[in-house]
């Protein structure tokens, strides 16, 4: 079955540590995205990538880093510079840039990160 997987489902981090969240898709989608979700805030874009070896900052990129070495993988690192990292993180992918009738965005199941 095609889809997006994220791991781990739950992650605990001590202050000062970097952690990496995994996102893999087998949908052969070009574009991949990372969102952060806090209660009452909706989904806010952290980083996005439209092609391998290229990515851009979203609205709240400070304290995060990404890589896109393979089409199917888009890991997110939450660095110690992120002051309030406790949140629900969602990865998504989409088939290309051109909006069309069927160009929906698919989401992974999410990773809940808690800073201890």
Which residues make up the interface to other proteins (CB under 8 A)? 31, 33, 35, 40-45, 48, 50, 56, 58, 88, 90, 94, 97-110, 112
Report yes or no: 107 and 6 within 8 Å, Cβ to Cβ: no
Closest CA to 75 of 7, 22, 9, 5: 22
- Minimum distance from residue 32 beta carbon to other proteins (Å): 12
By beta-carbon proximity to other proteins, the closer residue of 45 and 52 is 45
Closest-CA residue to 37 (of 116, 109, 104): 109
Q: State the nearest-atom distance from the C-beta of 38 to other proteins, in Å.
A: 10
Tell me the closest approach of the beta carbon of residue 60 to other proteins, in angstroms. Answer: 12
Cβ-contact 24, 5 below 8 angstroms = yes
């Amino acid at each position: 079955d095609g889809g997006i997987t994220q791991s781990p489902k739950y992650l605990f981090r001590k202050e000062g540590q970097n952690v990496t969240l995994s996102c893999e898709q087998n949908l052969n989608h070009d574009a991949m995205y990372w969102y952060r979700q806090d209660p009452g805030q909706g989904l806010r874009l952290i980083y996005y990538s439209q092609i391998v070896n290229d990515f851009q900052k979203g609205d709240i990129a400070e304290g995060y880093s990404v890589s896109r070495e393979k089409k199917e993988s888009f890991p997110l690192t939450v660095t110690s510079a992120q002051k309030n990292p406790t949140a629900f993180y969602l990865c998504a992918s989409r088939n290309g840039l051109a909006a069309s009738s069927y160009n929906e965005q698919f989401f992974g199941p999410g990773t809940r990160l808690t800073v201890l």
